Amino acid sequence: MADIESRVRDIIVTELGVEPSKVTPEASFVEDLGADSLDTVELVMAFEEEFGIEIPDEDAEKMETVGDAIKYLTEKEGA
């Protein structure tokens, strides 16, 4: 579990160019981490690439916080 979380956090730090300390579970991609619409598309693509999965647009739209992403990807990995 911790492994997935750290992989997700690493991707967010790289893709959004933010300080690791800001990437908390409650942090919102748009509100707290300064992501715009292009960043969020690229972020989802990076998750897909890292975990070898497809994330449908309707699922991607629900991923608003770091915690949302970790939970979603943990469930996908477990499936």
Partner 1 sequence: MSTEKRRVVITGAGLITAVANDLASNWDALLSGISGTDTITSFDPSRLEVRLAAEVKNFDPADYLDKKEVRRTDRFCQFALVAAAEALRTAGLGESPDVESDRFGVITGSGIGGIGTLEQQHLVYLEKGPDRVSPFFVPMFIADMAPGLISMKYGAKGPNYSTQSACASSAHAIGNAFKLIQRGIADVIISGGTESSVTPLTMAGFASMKALSSRNDEPEKASRPFDANRDGFVLGEGGGLVVLEALEHARARGAPIMAEVVGYGLTADAHHMTAPAPEGEGAQRAMRQALEDGGLQPEDIDYINAHGTSTPFNDLSETQAIKKVFGDHAHELVVSSTKSMTGHTLGAAGGVEGVICTLVVKEGKIPPTINFSEPDPDCDLNYSFNEATERPVELALSNSFGFGGHNVTLAIKRWEE
Site map for partner 1, 2-31, x if CB under 8 A?
-------------xxx--------------
What residues pair up with 65 in beta bridges, in sequence order? Answer: 28
2/16 Cα distance (integer angstroms): 21
Give the residue with the Cβ less far from partner 1, 8 or 44: 44
Residues in the chain, total? 79
32, 36, 59, 68: the catalytic one is: 36
Residue 24, φ and ψ in degrees, nearest 5: -95, 160
Q: Name which position in 31, 42, 59, 75 contacts partner 1 (CB under 8 A).
A: 42
